A and B are shown apart, each in its own frame.
Chain A
Amino acid sequence: AQTVTQSQPEMSVQEAETVTLSCTYDTSESDYYLFWYKQPPSRQMILVIRQEAYKQQNATENRFSVNFQKAAKSFSLKISDSQLGDAAMYFCAYRSVLYRDNYGQNFVFGPGTRLSVLP
């Protein structure tokens, strides 16, 4: 089964600065998807960015970008020009490409990183 690790339980960043959240995963598959989700205190999970493993180009969404290192099985999230509204829990998630009987093991979340943004 796949596993996702986020080694930073908590991070903080000064407003307008840049912060990088780490994520590593373990899989034997060659093709898959990776996601970063944001969960503010309202509890609603919001998709921040996603990456297809077969694409070498790192995904970017406005101030959010990823550094995808497939060989190292690393998928970090960089937030530029941090804003107060970025404060939240951030979850890294892995998903297999192909459906198998055991879907539950094919979509896995990491434990999360709590990001604080300091004014």
Chain B
Amino acid sequence: GAGVSQTPSNKVTEKGKYVELRCDPISGHTALYWYRQSLGQGPEFLIYFQGTGAADDSGLPNDRFFAVRPEGSVSTLKIQRTERGDSAVYLCASSLAGIEGADTQYFGPGTRLTVL
């Protein structure tokens, strides 16, 4: 079956603009995660959904970042008033059951966001 997909693969925007990044998880996966990966670093947790609700959004850096998953499948990460420091690769992952146990996360290819 299809893996995790993310669109767009690349996004270039200007400082101050609003962007939306989309993640389509593996069908049937109830858990969905967003990470941010800056150049030369490992992924950094942003937010975790279990079904439609954000079970943990403690990794969101500030209130300009917001994510939704209204039907428990596709998720959108929204960034308002983008800043140059938001430039990074945004990774999405999904898993079957959630964080209990060694639940394997399957990652998408990421969206590379560049803020000029």
A interface list, Cβ under 8 A from B:
4, 33, 37, 42-47, 50, 52, 91, 93, 95, 97-99, 101-112
Contacts and interface: CB of A to CB of B under 8 A. Distances in A.
Main secondary structure of the interface of B (DSSP, over half): loop
Interface residues of B, number: 29
Given A45-B93, A102-B56, 5 more contacts: A42-B109, A44-B110, A47-B104, A104-B58, A112-B41
A37 B107 CA distance: 10
Nearest to B48: A103
Interface of B: 3, 40-46, 48, 55-56, 58-59, 89, 91, 93, 98-102, 104-110, 112
A93 B40 CA distance: 16
A44 B108 contact: yes
A104 B112 CA distance: 22
B99 A91 contact: no
